[in-house]
Amino acid sequence: MSARAAALRLLNAVLGETPRLLSELRDSTWLLAMPAPERARAQRLATDCLRQIERCDRLLAKHVKKTPPLPVQNVLRLATWELAEGGAAHGVVHDWVTETSRMQAHGHLKGLVNAVLRKIAAEAPSEWPKLRAPRLPDWLREPLVEAYGAPRILAFETAHAAGAPLDLTPRNASQAADWAEKLGGTLLPTGSIRLGSPGQVSTLPGYDDGAWWVQDAAAALPAKLLGDVTGKSVLDLCAAPGGKTLQLAAAGAKVTALDISETRLVRLKENLARTGLKARLVAADALSHEGSYDAILLDAPCSATGTIRRHPDLPQARDGAEIGELIALQEAMLEHALTLLKPGGTLIFCTCSLIPDEGECHIDEALDRHPELQVVRPTLEGVQPDWITEEGGIRTTPDLWPDEGGMDGFYMAALRKPH
Ligand SMILES: C[S@@+](CC[C@H](N)C(=O)[O-])C[C@H]1O[C@@H](n2cnc3c(N)ncnc32)[C@H](O)[C@@H]1O
């Protein structure tokens, strides 16, 4: 299968009647059967097109009177993105017309595809830059506007449209500057390394030895909130694929890494093997785990709306229907985690969500239920005072560090149990 045909299949699945996330499709047999570079090209093409889908549709709207069947509509979107990105018009149009002609049910629409794409090829260079950054769908835009105000949401949308650079967490913080130089990256104020155009990650120096791992700069903060964990028993309660487990193990903690998903734990195991770090792995439901720990990191399952820069399929494939259940699960997990924490211990609660109900509100409510708990106000290097929230957590959003390339949306707070 060609990269374009595979990108089309991915887009059809994300935008189909039963929408799928690209991450759910990653291990599809048909995709894994492709040579790695072609597979990567297909995934990049589908991801980039989804990131710009509203711009593609706006450009196409002038030339398509009646919406064609979804697979043909997606051909037009993918080709429009390629043309907007500067793809050679003749090749792009030819290949997508050929792709259309192969469709059993829609091959007869190849003439339409040809005619529309010729017009798009002519106008994309001048019209594309005038199009606004794609808007979030209403199910997400409305609660975010309420929480942050409309101007900030425009800034979030601009950041989403720009995509994300690749951030690495160095295994040894004292070698961060050396690795940044070796990899041609930038050392960020919080200690992560940022790469502009990394190419294939697994071929970079230091990958095989586990000198660093891929982790967004914002996602690297929650584990650091625990401070010195040397020799402490730390429970990483929703651990897979393990970015935070690696940080805690590298910092000298005795880590128990628990996750409900056996498949995702396999990835955690591979990450531990690559880095030579150690953790006790437990496949279980966090809500039924028993034990007593010096510190706990709860990176609860959430809407993942803080990661849209890297996962632009999410607002398309989801409609927010599951958020209520997630909020209830997060609260139950937080309550149970507190029972596993030793007196004097610290619990980090975090989610990669932009929605305050999945972040700040949980801490406010936990403090109401347990007035004896204390929020430990963060003093992390590189964390700006205006990221610190009223109740003493950290709120990051995609529009922060606009000149450096943004960061994921995250919420985190440290709760201390009294002795
Ligand atoms: C946000 S991800 C964790 C990311 C991870 N902490 C990291 O840094 O790589 C949330 C995880 O929660 C796990 N999960 C969901 N429900 C769970 C449950 N009831 N018990 C334990 N783990 C659960 C999911 O399998 C998923 O791996």
Same domain, 77 and 221: no
Question: Is residue 322 pLDDT above 80, yes or no?
Answer: yes
Same domain, 125 and 226: no
Whether residue 344 is annotated as binding a ligand: the answer is no
Name the 3-class secondary structure at 336: helix
Q: Report how far residue 32's alpha carbon sits from residue 27's, in angstroms, rounded to the nearest whole number.
A: 6
Nearest atom, ligand 1, residue 241 CA: 9
Assigned domain for 93 exists? yes
Gap from CA of 92 to ligand 1 centroid (Å): 41
Nearest atom, ligand 1, residue 242 CA: 9
Counting every residue, how long is the chain?
419
Residue nearest ligand 1's atom 27 by CA: 240
Assigned domain for 87 exists? yes
Instruction: Give the mean model confidence (pLDDT) for residues 160-175.
Output: 96
What is the model's pLDDT at position 140?
97
Ligand 1 probe mutation, 246, 248, 260, most atoms within 8 A of CB = 260
Tell which residue, 133, 174, 193, has the closest CA to residue 157.
133
Q: Quick one: pLDDT band at residue 274, thresholds 50, 70, 90?
A: very high
Instruction: Give the mean model confidence (pLDDT) for residues 321-334.
Output: 98
What is the tally of structural domains in the chain? Answer: 2
Ligand 1 neighbour 264 (Cβ under 6 A): yes
Same domain, 113 and 224: no
Same domain, 107 and 221: no
Nearest atom, ligand 1, residue 239 CA: 6
Question: Is residue 197 pLDDT above 80, yes or no?
Answer: no
| Chain segment 169-191, per-residue pLDDT in tens | 999 999 999 999 999 999 999 99
Domain boundary among the residues 99, 130, 161 is at 130
Which structural domain, as residue segments, surrounds residue 408? 215-416
Same domain, 259 and 378: yes
Residue nearest ligand 1's atom 15 by CA: 301
Q: Quick one: pLDDT band at residue 199, thresholds 50, 70, 90?
A: confident
Assigned domain for 199 exists? no
Any idea of the CA torsion for 71, 73, 77, 82, to the nearest 10 degrees? 60
| Chain segment 120-151, per-residue pLDDT in tens | 999 999 999 999 999 999 999 999 999 999 99
Q: Which residues are catalytic?
A: 352
Domain boundary among the residues 69, 99, 130 is at 130
Gap from CA of 419 to ligand 1 centroid (Å): 29
> In whole angstroms, what separates CA 364 from the centre of its chain?
26
Q: Report how far residue 414's alpha carbon sits from residue 342's, in angstroms, rounded to the nearest whole number.
A: 14
Q: What is the mean pLDDT of the chain?
A: 96
Question: Is residue 196 pLDDT above 90, yes or no?
Answer: no
Q: Report how far residue 409's alpha carbon sits from residue 419's, in angstroms, rounded to the nearest whole number.
A: 33
Domain boundary among the residues 70, 102, 130 is at 130
Q: How many CB atoms lie within 10 A of CB 286?
A: 22
| Chain segment 397-409, per-residue pLDDT in tens | 999 999 999 999 9
Same domain, 246 and 382: yes
> In the structure encoding, which two tokens stand for residue 29, read together?
């047999």
Same domain, 237 and 346: yes
Ligand 1 neighbour 312 (Cβ under 6 A): no
Same domain, 252 and 348: yes
ipTM of the complex: 0.99
CATH of the domain at 114: 1.10.940.10
pTM of the model: 0.95
Whether residue 242 is annotated as binding a ligand: the answer is yes
| Chain segment 201-248, per-residue pLDDT in tens | 989 999 999 999 999 999 999 999 999 999 999 999 999 999 999 999
Same domain, 260 and 122: no
